[in-house]
Amino acid sequence: MFVVSVCLFVSGIGFVIAAERSSRTVAAAGPAEAAPVVPAVATVKQVMNGMIQPSASAVWDSVATIVSDAGVEERRPQTDEEWAQVAASAAMVIESANLLTDRSRAIDTVEWPAMAAAMAASGRKALDAANAKDPNGILAMGDELNQTCDACHEKYSRE
């Protein structure tokens, strides 16, 4: 009986030591692994010209009423694929706002991120409208998105 008690006591100590080691390993690793820092590659101008402008234009141009000598043309996405393309363009507007607020691209720490957030909010409305296949929603947010772009360009444009 004595031998069994000693074995149980020693085993218990072993479990305590093992538990302590594993808790130290978890604590050293932290609650979550830190994401790797990826350096910015594109400049603000490249993000504007390569992502924002073509994506915003695709959203704006997706719903339109065109009046010409030939008559009135109502432009609307017709297929699921066309609506998916509008949604993808709206998502690029939103994601590009994230790129603009990267520390290496941010022009300042107050107005620049606020303007990027306003652009993202307008992009979110466009994304929601595209997902709902709502041409009126696209029309309604078009001016709002344009105003966010104009306000930022008015303040920060260097050309």
Class of domain 44-156: mainly alpha
For the segment 115-140, what is each residue's pLDDT rounded down to a tens digit?
Answer: 999 999 999 999 999 999 999 999 99
Q: What percent of the chain has pLDDT over 90?
A: 59
- The answer, yes or no, to whether residue 66 has pLDDT greater than 80, is yes
Distance separating alpha carbons of residues 89 and 69, to the nearest angstrom: 31
0.75 surpassed by pTM? no
Ranges of each domain in the chain? 1-34, 44-156
Q: Say how far apart CA 86 and CA 144 lie, in whole Å.
A: 17
CA–CA separation, 11 vs 131, rounded Å?
60
Question: With 70 as the cut, is the pLDDT of residue 77 above it?
Answer: yes
The alpha carbon torsion through 49, 134, 63, 58 (nearest 10 deg) reads: 20
Quote the CA–CA distance of 55 and 87 in Å, as a whole number: 10
Of 12-16, 61-65, 155-159, least confident by mean pLDDT is: 12-16
**Alpha-carbon span 14 to 23, nearest angstrom:** 14
**Within 10 A of 152 (CB to CB), how many other CB atoms are there?**
21
pLDDT value of residue 56 = 95
Instruction: Summarize the confidence of residues 95-122 as an average pLDDT.
Output: 92
pLDDT digits (tens, 9 = 90+) for 26-60: 445 555 566 667 788 889 999 999 999 999 999 99
Closest CA relative to residue 51, chosen from 105, 132, 131: 105
